[in-house]
Every structure is written in structure tokens, then in C-alpha cells.
Amino acid sequence: MKVLLLEHPRTVAPERCNDIANTPLASCLLSGSIAGVINENGHDVSIIEGYLDNLSYQEIEEQVRCAAPGLLGVNMVYHWQGDQEIFSFLEKLKKDKIVPYIVVYGYYPTFAYEKILKNCQAVDALVLGEPELTFAELTASLSRGNKPQDLPGLAVRDGSGVRCRRRELIDDLDSLPFPVRTEAMMRISEVNLQGSRGCYGRCTFPANLPQRYASSPLCAPEKEGCPDRQSAPGAC
């Protein structure tokens, strides 16, 4: 199945320009981590770096048309009230029959899934919490011609309401493949490696308590696989 993941353009304003303060740093690895998992499952997946490549929505639409995916996933990192551009874009894709199924994922959809399903009819489903396993099962189901209504970790419309149930957290982070890293990610002067998930302070914001750790031997080969970035001052 052809799957397209979108890092959508994000509006930057002086009062809200610090990505790290606005969302956990792991947000930048979500699309790559999903891609790594569904690649292993034999699906054809690509990532559009709308933010890092400074693409317009028109340019993104052209790429989506060319790819003709069966599933479009959108990493909705955060969404400011009144910023309807991404919703309008998704509505256009659906109206023009460019994509048959749209799912969004990320930290913002995890706690605002009801609002998103209400305000954007183009969105078919939302992934809650850690996205990899839910996204993989959704892709497998859609590739068989089924639209799941009771998948753990997935929120969907159910009549006038919303149906969802949480998925158990991934205990063994070492079981996940390395994230797919795009050319755009390799151009920036930092490398982000995931060594843990959750928050040592038990904050609710990460939405994936409790804290779990990947093994150090797992992180080392991934760092070695990032050429010309091992000494980057932002590597973490």
C-alpha cells in the first residue's frame, strides 16, 4: 500500500516560535518512526517535509497528487486556534478525491481528538499516543479494504459521537526499527536520537507515561548511521 506522511507547514509567530517549548522534542521523530515500522511491513511509504523544505500547500498538493497514496498521515505537531489552513487543505484533498483516507497523529491530536473530528470532516481518524503500532495496524486493515472502527489507539466518528480506546504503551523501545530520516532532516545542524519516552517528572504533557528507556547499544549504531552529524553540537 502506498502511504504518504506529511510534516505540514507550521505558522511561526514571535510569541510562539520555540518548537521545543511548544511540544516534546520527540515530535520530530514521529513520522520517521512510523515510516520505519510500516516499511518493515512491506508498504511503500514516503515523507513530505512541508516544514523543513518550506513548501507551500500548493506544492504539497502537487506531491500528493503525484504519489496518489491510499493513506495520508499528518503529523499535527500543534494547532493554534483560528489557524484553519491545514484543515482547509485536507478538506480540499478529500473534496478533489486526491486521497481516500486521512489520519492525523501527534501530541496535539492525542488530547484534542474530539475537537479535530468535529472541526475537520476530511479527517477520518486520529491516532492517540504512540503512533507506530496503531498506524501499522491501520495500514494493514486499509490495504485489505477494511476501515477499522474499533482499533486500539484510534479515534473515529461513531454516529454523533466519537469511538476510541487507548492502546497499551510500547514497553520495549528496542523493538522499534530506527526512524527513517529524510534528506531535509540530514541538512539541519542537529541530530535527535530517541533514548527514552515519557517524562521522569510524570508530566501529563508527553501523553505517554511512564518513562521507558531504549538501551544505549541501540542508540549507538543509529548515531553511527547519521554521516557527518556525529559531532553536531545539537546531537542529543
CATH number at residue 82: 3.40.50.2300
Higher pLDDT, 160 or 142: 142
Query: What does the pLDDT read at residue 86?
Result: 92
Q: Is residue 218 part of a domain?
A: no
Average pLDDT over residues 158-168: 88
- Kindly report the pTM of this predicted structure: 0.82
Q: Is residue 197 part of a domain?
A: no
Q: Is residue 201 part of a domain?
A: no
Q: Is residue 182 part of a domain?
A: no
Q: Is residue 38 part of a domain?
A: yes
Query: What does the pLDDT read at residue 233?
Result: 40
| Range in 30-39, 95-104, 162-171 with the lowest mean pLDDT | 162-171
> Quick one: what percent of the chain has pLDDT higher than 90?
47
Query: What does the pLDDT read at residue 139?
Result: 97
Mean pLDDT, the chain, as a whole number? Answer: 81
DSSP letters along the chain, please?
-EEEEEE------GGG--HHHHS-GGGGGHHHHHHHHHHHTT-EEEEEETTTTT--HHHHHHHHHHH--SEEEEE-----TT--HHHHHHHHHHHTTS-S-EEEESHHHHHHHHHHHHH-TT--EEE-SS-HHHHHHHHHHHHTT---SS-TTEEEEETTEEE--PPPP-S-GGGSPPPP--HHHHHSS------EES-TT--STTSS-S-EE--HHHHHHHHHTSTT-TT-TT--
pLDDT of 221 over the 60 cut = no
Query: What does the pLDDT read at residue 28?
Result: 75
Q: Is residue 191 part of a domain?
A: no
Q: Which domain holds residue 77?
A: 2-172
Domain count, the chain: 1
Q: Is residue 211 part of a domain?
A: no
Q: Is residue 92 part of a domain?
A: yes
